[in-house]
Amino acid sequence: MIRYTTRTKFHQIKYLKMLSKNSKMLPKNSKMFPQIIYYSSSYNDSVGNLLTIGIEYLGLNLNDYIEQNKPLDNREMKLLFYNIIKIYYKLREKNIVHWDVSKNNILVKSSQKVYLCDFEHSFNFDKNLDTENFPTVWPKSCVTKDYLSPELMAWYRLSSDMRYLNYDPFKSEVFSLGLIFLSIGKISIEGLNKFGEHYDIIHIKALLTISYNYIVKDSLKVISYKMLANELQNLIDERINLCPYDFLKSILRKMLEVDMVKRSTINDIYHLAKCHVGNFA
């Protein structure tokens, strides 16, 4: 397995650490990482298989780009949405989880030139993703908490006695991307990834550490779970209705689905994004 790692210094140097002993340097403009890693020079440090990579200027981070170009019109937002989603779709094709979805890690030159950076915590994930029997993941670190999915936020809040969780890391990033696009419209996302006050005792922990079906197929446990999930979903839906981009509202509802099984995949969202920019292939 290869773990993809970068420590980013914007406009200057990236470090890519290959943990595989036999890993090879990526070719320039590698098709494996479209819109992700481009470099002009590199050298190999034999200690720890460290590659030092010089990169081109990749634009402003997403938040600064939005601030300097606001308000984006409908077409510009559709293009921006499509090109950001496309990056994560390509990562999914390669079974790579970025792990730190954040406005700071999305670099934008224009709505059609978007790049992704900071792979320090990224990892390869090729386990079978059954619809309801989620694989077990042992997170090693917590990154930008503002954009965590509800399941990862629950893990973070319970990390003292919850070392692992059963979930789909790719669907988790779909939720995170949904929060980013909701916040672009100047809508507060505070509290949109946190189950209610009693989340730790009303089966959320069991859902994430035992199994999804252990909760939802139990006639009593599912009542408590639905109460918490619906409470959070209603709050999310209220914020989505405030989104200034009408085309995004229905898509955000699919991305910001609290229930992990019902939440859309990045493939689903990518195909919707393509349609909005007139690409029906």
CATH code for the domain in which residue 203 is found? 1.10.510
Percent of the chain with pLDDT over 90: 56
- Is 45 in a helix, a strand, or coil? strand
Q: Domain limits at 255? A: 70-99+125-276
In a domain, 6, yes or no: no
DSSP, res 74? H
- Number of helices (H) and strands (E) in the chain: give both, helices first: 9, 10
Q: Is the pLDDT of residue 254 over 60?
A: yes
In a domain, 109, yes or no: no
In a domain, 208, yes or no: yes
Residue found under tokens 């990749």: 58
Residue found under tokens 């460290």: 50
Could you give the maximum distance between any two Cα atoms of the chain, in Å?
60
In a domain, 135, yes or no: yes
Round the average pLDDT of the chain to a whole number and report it. Answer: 81
In a domain, 64, yes or no: no
Per the structure, how many domains does the chain have? 1
pTM of this structure: 0.83
In a domain, 176, yes or no: yes
In a domain, 46, yes or no: no
**132 with 215: CB under 8 angstroms?**
no
Q: Is the pLDDT of residue 264 over 90?
A: yes
Q: Is the pLDDT of residue 22 over 70?
A: no
Q: Is the pLDDT of residue 153 over 50?
A: yes
In a domain, 224, yes or no: yes
- Helices 169-184 and 150-157: angle between axes, nearest 10 degrees: 100
> Confidence class of residue 141 from pLDDT cuts 50, 70 and 90?
confident
